[in-house]
């Protein structure tokens, strides 16, 4: 059975577990092969190169953006990458070879970045293209590093392993992303080798321009669409669970088991990405099933996501949400009976490149929920120029997701679960398809709301 698999950064940092639980688990001889592994950078490396994904702490990239000297951060980067190499020497990594590879790679990247920085400093060209190129060069380092090390270790274990480097680091040919992937795999006999593939793919359209930090999952998806595996698999450090174990406790939740791509999209909409939403669509359209597995629980089948799945029993499959939202309430007494108020608001959101995750309306006001990270004073000033009163409040959203949960009383039961804990519902809603029931609550009530709903719906 041919599989295309993706290993996340946190899992990659636990390479011994990856080898035991993914590569070797219940496999010997030829059973080891017919698998393609797309790997992320080791945990934290891309944060050093670009910026911390959660905190926004700047990496090397932002030194270039601000026309600051980035040579010292590059030297520090080499030291840190070599320290990572040292950790994997006991697994069989040829330390001298690995250190030589990454130092040469980073210094070559520095030369390219120097050229870009000089062009940028000249003031003769637009920043956009130059900075995009710098971001791509830096991003490619992380996956080249992890893929090289992983391949070297497996080869030294006597496993036939092929490194598929899609970073195109010293390849000046202008391939599209799809062309580069197709060329890289055309002469490989999958039945006789494991393929270790960089999560970053160089392409003339720029993989980060559209997908940014989701690029490794897009590479994974594109390879799966090309090779048509029996299954696509993502290995992460946790199960896709009915609720967050960190909030409700490990004993009070369970792996979801089965769901569909619609629910995967709903998860992505509240920031709980099982996979980047632009990576799921090609899999869904091509009828490729996606399995999510826990690297540290290899005997568990994980959760299978398919296009057609509908739960036989009416049930809530996932309780989730986020506390990083803002409610923007647009009020104007002239809205009632006035055609086009919603259109005007949407045009302002579009002009400011801001998307919303929830919307509720009444006669004279329209409330929209956005990610706090997308807040822009210009958006508010543009709205204030058109409407009488704009109010902005911090909020959290808790969601009930399920492929078949259109059950009488579910909304009432859920509202009661929140009410009995003293949690006020600021707003609520769901579409006709009823795959996502959403409650807006105050931020400080986010965790209690998740716990309360979990107690009532899974007791």
For residues 157-186, give the mean pLDDT: 93
pLDDT of 178 over the 80 cut: yes
> What is the DSSP annotation of 31-81?
GG-SEEEEEPPPTTHHHHHTB-TTT--B-HHHHHHTT---HHHHHHHHHHH
Q: Percent of the chain having pLDDT more than 70?
A: 99
Whether 354 has a pLDDT exceeding 90, the answer reads yes
* Rounded distance between C-alpha atoms, residue 369 and residue 329, angstroms: 9
Lowest mean pLDDT among 269-273, 317-321, 350-354, 443-447: 269-273
Instruction: Give the mean model confidence (pLDDT) for residues 268-291.
Output: 86
CA gap 244, 454 in Å, rounded = 10
Listed range (8-17, 334-343, 388-397, 436-445) with the worst mean pLDDT: 334-343
pLDDT for 376 beyond 90: yes
Region 283-294: mean pLDDT is 96
Residue 185 has pLDDT above 90, yes or no: yes
pLDDT of residue 459: 66
Partnered with residue 235 across adjacent β-strands are 7, 293
Question: In which band, very low, low, confident or very high, does the pLDDT at 337 lie, cut at 50, 70 and 90?
Answer: confident
Residue-level pLDDT at 436: 94
CA distances from 243 to 146, 321, 418 (A): 31, 10, 16
Side-chain-side CA neighbours of 175 within 13 Å: the count stands at 18
H helices then E strands: how many in the chain? Answer: 17, 14
* Over residues 380-406, mean pLDDT: 96
Give yes or no for residue 273 having a pLDDT over 70.
no
Contact 188, 126 (CB under 8 A): no
pLDDT at 397: 97
Binned at pLDDT 50, 70 and 90, residue 371 comes out as very high
Give pLDDT tens digits for 12-53: 999 999 999 999 999 999 999 999 999 999 999 999 999 988
Mean pLDDT of the chain: 94
**What is the DSSP code string of 377-414?**
HHHHHHHHTTSSEEEEEEEEEEEEE-SB---TTHHHHH
Asked whether the CA dihedral 264, 270, 272, 275 is positive or negative, the reply is positive
The two structure tokens encoding residue 272: 């709980």
Which residue carries 């036939």 as its tokens?
160
- As a whole number, mean pLDDT of residues 50-62 equals 88
Place of tokens 């059950």: 407
> Please, are residues 328 and 367 in contact by the beta-carbon 8 Å criterion?
yes
**Whether residue 269 has pLDDT greater than 90:** no
- Using pLDDT thresholds of 50, 70 and 90, give the confidence band for residue 274: low
Quickly state the pLDDT bin for 334 (edges 50, 70, 90): very high
pLDDT above 90 for 391: yes
Per-residue pLDDT, 357: 93
DSSP 258: E
């Amino acid at each position: 059975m041919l599989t295309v698999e993706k290993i996340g950064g946190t899992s990659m940092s636990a390479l011994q577990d990856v080898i035991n639980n993914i590569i070797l688990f219940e496999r010997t001889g030829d059973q080891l092969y017919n698998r393609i592994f797309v790997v992320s950078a080791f945990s934290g490396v891309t944060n050093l190169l670009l910026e911390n994904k959660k905190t926004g702490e700047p990496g090397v990239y932002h030194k270039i953006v601000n026309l600051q000297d980035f040579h010292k951060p590059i030297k520090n980067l080499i030291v840190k990458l070599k320290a990572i190499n040292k950790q994997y020497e006991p697994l069989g990594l040829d330390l001298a070879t690995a250190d030589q590879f990454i130092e040469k790679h980073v210094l070559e990247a520095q030369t390219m970045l120097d050229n870009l920085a000089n062009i940028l400093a000249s003031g003769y060209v637009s920043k956009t293209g130059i900075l995009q190129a710098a971001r791509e060069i830096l991003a490619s380092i992380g996956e080249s590093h992890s893929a090289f090390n992983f391949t070297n270790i497996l080869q030294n274990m006597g496993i036939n392993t092929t490194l598929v480097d899609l970073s195109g680091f010293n390849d000046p040919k202008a391939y599209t992303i799809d062309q580069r992937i197709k060329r890289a795999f055309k002469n490989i006999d999958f039945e006789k080798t494991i393929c270790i593939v960089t999560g970053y793919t160089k392409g003339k359209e720029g993989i980060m321009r559209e997908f940014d930090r989701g690029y490794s999952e897009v590479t994974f998806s594109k390879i799966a669409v090309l090779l048509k595996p029996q299954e696509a698999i993502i290995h992460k450090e946790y199960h896709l669970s009915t609720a967050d174990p960190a909030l409700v406790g490990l004993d009070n939740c369970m792996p979801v088991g089965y769901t569909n791509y619609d629910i995967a999209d709903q998860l992505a909409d509240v920031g709980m990405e099982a996979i980047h939403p632009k990576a799921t669509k090609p899999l869904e359209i091509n009828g490729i099933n996606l399995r999510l597995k826990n690297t540290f629980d290899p005997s568990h089948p994980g959760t299978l996501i398919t296009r057609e799945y509908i739960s036989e029993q009416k049930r809530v499959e996932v309780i989730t949400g986020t506390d990083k939202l803002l409610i923007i309430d647009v009020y104007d007494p002239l809205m009632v009976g006035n055609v086009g108020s919603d259109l005007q608001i949407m045009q302002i959101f579009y002009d400011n490149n801001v998307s919303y995750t929830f919307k509720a309306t009444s006669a004279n006001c329209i409330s929209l929920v956005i990610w706090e990270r997308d807040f822009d004073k210009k958006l508010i000033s543009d709205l204030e120029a058109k409407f009488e009163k704009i109010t902005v409040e911090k909020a959290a959203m808790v969601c009930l997701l399920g492929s078949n949960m259109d059950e009488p009383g579910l909304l009432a039961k859920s509202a009661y679960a929140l009410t009995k804990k003293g949690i006020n519902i600021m707003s609520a809603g769901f579409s006709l398809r009823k795959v996502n029931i959403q409650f807006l609550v105050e931020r400080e009530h986010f965790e209690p709301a998740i716990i309360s709903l979990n107690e009532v719906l899974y007791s």
